[in-house]
């Protein structure tokens, strides 16, 4: 038996570990199980190198709860340790068994096969345990049993004694403290194992069953997987989700190691709800599902797995550290996503178009936030019109230019955000031979703003932004049939009968066949308000009320009839009625105003 002090820099190492080293106490289970997997992986590597001749079957890790003894034990059948190795890897924290091992055997092992650094990872045990025992026997020991027991109560003092263990490997026995009795609950431990160890490369047994998939889809070669394999893996990750649209298999070994599978989900209107679905692994150990530092913001809408031993993590593996590799990985993933989208578009455009309502949000988000992605996505970004026909950006400019170019040589892209609410305006535009795009997505106000800046000589105008003549101004408007005095009288009557201050009365010389009164929403202010609602940097706009123009068609026969009424009271009633009719068509007449309108309509009829 021997005793001693752990070789640490300060007497306060354990309080530091407990409070600051790890972001969450539950991490201890991941660290200890990962170490057990490392010990098992080392044995496989030694076997390949010819330094271990024994059997390699049943290299599983066992996790056991003993409620009576209040212990949680993690056992492996890996390389084990000698007394000297315990001294180096446990007592002298500055040494890392994993790092030393990798340096020695790096030519004979798969990259990333050793998950972590045993020393500091092991000490996470003291976050939950009042005493920790290690019972271990090295694979190098002969028939003379030279197993050893190491014991420490969370102070720098430890004891090391000979003990009995019939097989190689290591047991880590945690005598849990009173604050950590939650880890005596089977459900709690199983939840943690499923969270952190679900895809570890060595079988993990708990409560008599294997809880992990040792060969998840992302570690296999794409050539060995079928479409149904990718779908099955998606269901393994997200059991209750709709099927994804398609996937991207990442498989890079230079200039960094990166594997993974990313899926395009069916995006809903609420973009934020779709984020934080990508899981980051380091050599099949779950690290985090907050991957903001690794993938650009728009790629956060994807689901799936990224695995890289080259991503720099702090000692608790919970936070990313700034590193040039992270930027390279981020750029590479962006490029692979663009490659895949372009490939699908070229190979099967009808299929791509059928998925546009789901992937369009994602592509527009990427084009808004990443210039390099914008340049790539120009080839496969689509615009959809109200007839459900799709065009690339170049195709649409060619289509719209002949008929929708105004007198200033600018091509006007008309669009609707709601085909029901704006039906009358859409029909009026179609009546002139114009095409109307459908822009109803959560990012479209930002997106069309960006396209106006990127594509020369175009502008977007919503179909209800003005009268049909003013949407695309090609020549001077038609002449009014009323005199100046009549126009002034008509405007005065209208202004007295517009009930809301956000309504501005404008006289227009429209065609007699056009509506007598049209409500329009000015493009600029409305668009700024919409952008502010989705985080466009115009937050002050969000508080402003929406403004409307009440366009009075001076050439409509009804206006002449209103002016011809002998009594001013009757003029006012009819003008208010026709203005309210226009408001009703835009769903702007509600409550008491709607009731009064209906009653007055019945009375007039």
Q: Does 314 lie in the same domain as 165?
A: no
User: 75-97: per-residue pLDDT in tens?
Assistant: 999 999 998 888 887 876 533 44
Listed residue (126, 355, 137, 130) closest to 242, CA to CA: 355
pLDDT, average across residues 147-168: 88
Confidence of residue 143 (pLDDT cuts 50, 70, 90): low
- Position 537 in a domain: no
CATH number of the domain within which 258 lies: 3.30.230.80
Q: Is the pLDDT of residue 24 over 80?
A: no
Among the candidates 347, 369, 397, a domain finishes at: 347
With a cut of 80, say whether residue 314 has pLDDT above it. no
Average pLDDT for the chain: 83
Domain closes at, from 411, 446, 471: 471
pLDDT of residue 98: 40
Q: Are residues 165 and 267 in the same domain?
A: no
Q: Is the pLDDT of residue 212 over 60?
A: yes
The more confident residue out of 89 and 195 is 195
Higher pLDDT, 489 or 306: 306
Q: Are residues 197 and 104 in the same domain?
A: yes
Q: Name which of 371, 379, 17, 33 is nearest 190 in CA terms.
A: 33
Residue 243 has pLDDT above 60, yes or no: yes
Same domain, 39 and 135: yes
pLDDT at 256: 81
> 9: pLDDT confidence band, cut at 50, 70 and 90?
very low
Which of 324, 347, 370 is at the close of a domain? 347
414 or 10, which is more confident?
A: 414
Kindly give, in sequence order, each residue whose CB lies less than 8 Å from that of residue 581, ignoring residues fewer than 6 positions away.
Answer: 517, 597
Closest CA to 72 of 142, 116, 131, 114: 131
Rounded Cα distance, 517 and 331, in Å: 54
pLDDT tens readout for residues 293-304: 778 888 888 999
* pLDDT at 104 exceeding the cut of 70: no
Q: What is the pLDDT of residues 499-520, one digit of tens each?
A: 667 788 888 888 888 888 888 8
Give the least confident one: 124-138, 224-238, 262-276.
Answer: 262-276
Say what the pTM is: 0.75
Cα–Cα distance measured from residue 163 to residue 178, given in angstroms and rounded to the nearest whole number: 28
Position 55 pLDDT exceeds 90:
no
Decide if 431 is inside a domain. Answer: yes
Q: How far apart are CA 298 and CA 284, in angstroms?
A: 25
Question: Measured between alpha carbons, how far is 193 from 278 in angstroms, rounded to an integer?
Answer: 18
Say what the pLDDT of residue 438 is. 95
| CATH assignment of the domain containing 35 | 3.30.565.10
The whole-number pLDDT of residue 97 equals 41
Please check whether residue 206 lies inside any domain of the structure.
Answer: yes
The answer to whether residue 572 is domain-embedded is yes
Note whether 453 and 498 are same-domain residues. Answer: no
For residue 116, is pLDDT > 50? no
In a domain, 476, yes or no: no
Strand order in the sheet with 285-288: 246-252, 258-264, 303-307, 278-282, 285-288
What pLDDT score does 99 carry? 46
Q: What pLDDT band is residue 175 in, cutting at 50, 70 and 90?
A: very high
State residue 390's pLDDT score: 97
- The residue that leads in pLDDT, 427 or 8, is 427
Q: How much is the pLDDT for 115?
A: 39
Token reading at 374: 């914008």
Regarding whether 221 and 173 lie in a shared domain, the answer is no
Supply angle C-alpha 98, 104, 105, rounded to 5. Answer: 85
Query: 581-604 pLDDT, tens per residue?
Result: 888 887 888 888 888 888 888 887
Query: 479, 486 in Cβ contact below 8 A?
Result: no
Residue 170 to residue 168: CA distance in whole angstroms: 7
Contacts 24+ apart (CB under 8 A), 105-113: 105/45, 105/46, 105/49, 108/45, 108/48, 108/49, 109/41, 109/45, 109/48, 111/253, 111/257, 111/309, 112/257, 112/282, 112/283, 112/308, 112/309, 113/41, 113/44, 113/45, 113/201, 113/283
For the ranges 102-116, 237-251, 568-582, the lowest mean pLDDT is seen at 102-116
Question: Using 50, 70 and 90 to split pLDDT, how confident is the model at 316?
Answer: very low
Per-residue pLDDT at 315: 43
Residue of 512, 511, 531, 513 lying closest to 460 (CA atoms): 531
Give the residue from 121, 92, 117, 154 showing the smallest Cα distance to 22. Answer: 121
Q: Is the pLDDT reported for residue 70 higher than 70?
A: yes
Tokens of 589: 């007449």
Do residues 246 and 163 both lie within one domain? no
Structure confidence at residue 117 as a pLDDT band (50, 70, 90)? very low
Q: How sure is the predictor about 542, in pLDDT bands with cuts at 50, 70 and 90? A: very low
Give the total number of structural domains in the chain.
4
Same domain as 336, residue 252: yes
Q: Which structural domain range is residue 576 located in?
A: 484-521+544-604
Lowest mean pLDDT among 324-338, 393-407, 433-447, 466-480: 466-480
Please tell me whether residues 94 and 160 are part of one structural domain.
yes
CA-CA distance, 213 to 332, in Å (whole number)? 27
Q: In the predicted model, is pLDDT for residue 10 greater than 90?
A: no
- Domain presence at residue 90: yes
Q: What was the pLDDT predicted at 119? A: 47
Surface-to-core class of residue 585, CB atoms within 10 Å of its CB (0-12 exposed, 13-18 middle, 19+ buried): middle
CATH code for the domain in which residue 574 is found: 1.20.120.790
Give a yes or no: residue 539 inside a domain: no
Please write the tens of the pLDDT for every residue from 399-454.
999 999 988 888 999 999 999 989 989 999 998 899 999 998 888 888 998 999 99
Percent pLDDT > 90 in the chain is 38
What number is the average pLDDT over the span 42-56?
85
**34 half-sphere exposure, CB direction, 13 A CA radius:** 32
Could you tell me if 314 and 457 lie in one domain?
no
**H or E segment at 35?**
helix 27-48
532 within domain boundaries: no
Q: Which two tokens stand for residue 178?
A: 């009173």
Same domain (yes/no): 159, 90: yes
Within this chain, do residues 242 and 139 fall inside the same structural domain, yes or no? no
Confidence (pLDDT) at 305:
94
């Amino acid at each position: 038996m021997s005793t001693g002090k752990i070789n640490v820099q300060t007497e306060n190492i354990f309080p530091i570990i407990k409070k600051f080293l790890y972001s969450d106490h539950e991490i201890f289970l991941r660290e200890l199980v990962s170490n057990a997997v490392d010990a098992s992986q080392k044995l496989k590597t030694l076997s390949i190198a010819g330094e271990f001749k024994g059997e390699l079957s049943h290299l599983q890790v066992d996790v056991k709860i003993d409620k009576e003894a209040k212990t949680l034990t993690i056992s492996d059948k890996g390389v084990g340790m000698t007394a000297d190795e315990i001294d180096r890897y446990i007592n002298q924290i500055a040494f890392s068994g994993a790092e030393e091992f990798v340096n020695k055997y790096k030519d004979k092992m798969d990259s990333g096969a050793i998950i972590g650094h045993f020393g500091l990872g092991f000490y996470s045990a003291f976050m939950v345990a009042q005493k920790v025992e290690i019972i271990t026997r090295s694979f190098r020991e002969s028939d003379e049993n030279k197993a050893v027991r190491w014991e420490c109560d969370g102070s720098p003092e430890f004891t090391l004694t000979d003990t009995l263990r019939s097989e190689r490997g290591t047991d880590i026995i945690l005598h849990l403290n009173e604050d950590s009795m939650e880890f005596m609950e089977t459900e709690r431990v199983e939840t943690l194992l499923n969270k952190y160890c679900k895809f570890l490369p060595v079988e993990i047994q708990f409560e008599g069953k294997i809880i992990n998939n040792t060969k998840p889809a992302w570690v296999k070669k794409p050539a060995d997987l079928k479409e149904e394999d990718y779908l099955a893996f998606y269901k393994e990750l997200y059991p209750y989700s709709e099927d994804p649209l398609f996937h991207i298999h990442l498989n890079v070994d230079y200039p960094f190691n990166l594997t993974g599978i990313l899926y395009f989900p069916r995006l809903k209107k609420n973009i934020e709800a779709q984020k934080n679905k990508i899981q980051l692994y380091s050599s099949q150990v779950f690290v985090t599902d907050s991957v903001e530092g690794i993938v650009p913001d728009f790629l956060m809408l994807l689901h799936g797995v990224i695995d890289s031993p080259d991503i720099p993590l702090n000692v608790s593996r919970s936070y990313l550290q700034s590193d040039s590799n992270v930027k390279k990985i981020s750029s590479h993933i962006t490029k692979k996503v663009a490659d895949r989208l372009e490939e699908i578009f070229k190979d099967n455009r009808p299929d791509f178009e059928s998925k546009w309502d789901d992937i369009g949000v994602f592509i527009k988000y990427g084009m808004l936030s990443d210039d390099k992605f914008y340049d790539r996505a120009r080839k496969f970004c689509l615009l959809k019109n109200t007839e459900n026909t799709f065009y690339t950006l170049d195709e649409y400019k060619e289509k719209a230019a002949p008929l929708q170019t105004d007198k200033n040589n600018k091509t006007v892209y008309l669009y609707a955000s709601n085909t029901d609410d704006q039906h009358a305006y859409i029909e009026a535009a179609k009546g002139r031979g114009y095409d109307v795009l459908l822009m109803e997505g959560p990012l479209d106000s930002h997106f069309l703003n960006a396209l106006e800046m990127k594509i020369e000589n175009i502008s977007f105008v919503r179909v209800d932004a003005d009268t049909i003549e003013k949407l695309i101004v090609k020549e001077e408007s038609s002449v009014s049939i009323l005199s100046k005095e009549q126009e002034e009288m008509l405007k005065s009557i209208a202004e007295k009968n517009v009930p809301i201050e956000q309504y501005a009365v404008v006289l227009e010389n429209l065609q007699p066949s056009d509506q007598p009164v049209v409500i329009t929403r000015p493009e600029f202010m409305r668009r700024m308000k919409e952008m502010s609602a989705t985080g466009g940097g115009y937050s002050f706009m969000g508080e402003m009320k929406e403004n409307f123009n009440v366009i009075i068609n001076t050439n409509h026969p009804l206006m002449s009839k209103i002016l011809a009424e002998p009594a001013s009271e009757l003029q006012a009633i009819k003008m208010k009625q026709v203005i309210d009719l226009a408001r009703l068509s835009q769903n702007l007449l509600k409550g008491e105003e709607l009731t009064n309108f209906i009653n007055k309509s019945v009375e007039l009829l």
